Amino acid sequence: MIPRSHSSLQATWQQQLKQSAISASELVERLQLPVEMIGQLEKASSGFPLRVPDNFLQRIQPGNLSDPLLKQVLPDLAELEHFPGFSNDPLDEQHQSTPSGLLHKYPSRVLLVVTGACPVHCRYCFRRHFPYQQQQMGKQGIEKCLKYIEQHPEINEVILSGGDPLSAPDRLLSDISSRLDQIPHLKRLRIHSRFPVMIPDRINDSLLQWIGHSRLKPVMVLHINHANEINQDLTDACERLKRAGVLLLNQTVLLKGVNDSSEQLCQLSETLFNVSVQPYYLHLLDKVAGAGHFEVSQTNAINLMHQLLEKLPGFLVPKLVREVAGVTSKLPIDLNL
């Protein structure tokens, strides 16, 4: 465990979460955007509320509507448009036969939906329509999920998901981790999170205590889409996780207007490597209703990958993948090499 001192005046991660911008007027004021945008932002976010932590806002250039970080969190009227092939549940997750809160999408891995809460509402989120209220577990629900995992020896990895699993208190996460430790056929505990990016102080002593003492090999998959997201606070958080024995990977969603150039993707891979995070996946957009304006065609994605292969060493080139409902793994995209 890596000790970390906090000033008594420093806000906890929970306090920082409460200080997030959650209204159009607040976002406009903080980022010096045109006041006349408030109405359209309110309309665009009517079905999927706005939420952006202050730490992330500080990395956005005030007044710049083209800022790649802003584009990820700024509600857009295009979210209200219908795009062919896009749906509320593009991965068909709502028809799983497992206990509520558990998704057995892949033979050897299960996703445990710990919470529906998230520190940020990314506008391309593939679970923006997910019925989290129907997936609330509680103590009995968690017991059912753990029982299911115990009864399926083919499962060797549990993935904590959400929402963002780190929205849950460390007491709960520690209890879940301890119970998973006792299931002999499990090997790894994976966590997918945007928290280290959005509120780096979430990586505190309490979290490092339980994650660093698990029998299971801890893996954290960060969701970082642009090099500008990586600041000193995130770098420090990654260092704390690394010292606790956590393997750090990153998955990026390919987003139109955010990171759809080889220059941006190369810079992201290089910057990730500098902070000891391994580029892992480059995801084609999941076709969720409300995110069609972010889509980059598969043809353009393949062209970008060809450029990355020319410009980067192989270990810095992420795998280009797509997730398809009903398929038992992520599908690698044929690069036609």
Binding residues are: 118, 122, 125
Handedness of CA 27, 31, 36, 41 (dihedral sign): negative
CA distance 207 to 18: 19
Number of H helices, E strands in the chain: 12, 9
**DSSP secondary structure string, 109-134?**
EEEEE--S--S---TT-TTTT--GGG
Cα–Cα nearest to 79, from 35, 31, 112, 122: 122
Q: Are 108 and 154 in contact (CB under 8 A)?
A: yes
Query: Rounded CA gap, 260 and 238, in Å?
Result: 25
Bind-site residues for [4Fe-4S] cluster: 118, 122, 125
Nearest to 279 by CA among 312, 252, 306: 252
Check if the beta carbon of residue 317 is closer than 8 Å to that of residue 277. Answer: no
Residue 84 CB: number of other CB atoms within 10 A? Answer: 6
Distance CA 297, CA 38 (A): 31
Give the SS3 label for residue 80. Answer: helix
CA-to-CA dists, residue 192 to 120, 165, 179, 219, 307, angstroms: 14, 7, 19, 9, 28
Pinpoint the alpha helices (H) of 103-204.
138-150, 170-181, 195-198
Per DSSP, 254 falls in state: -
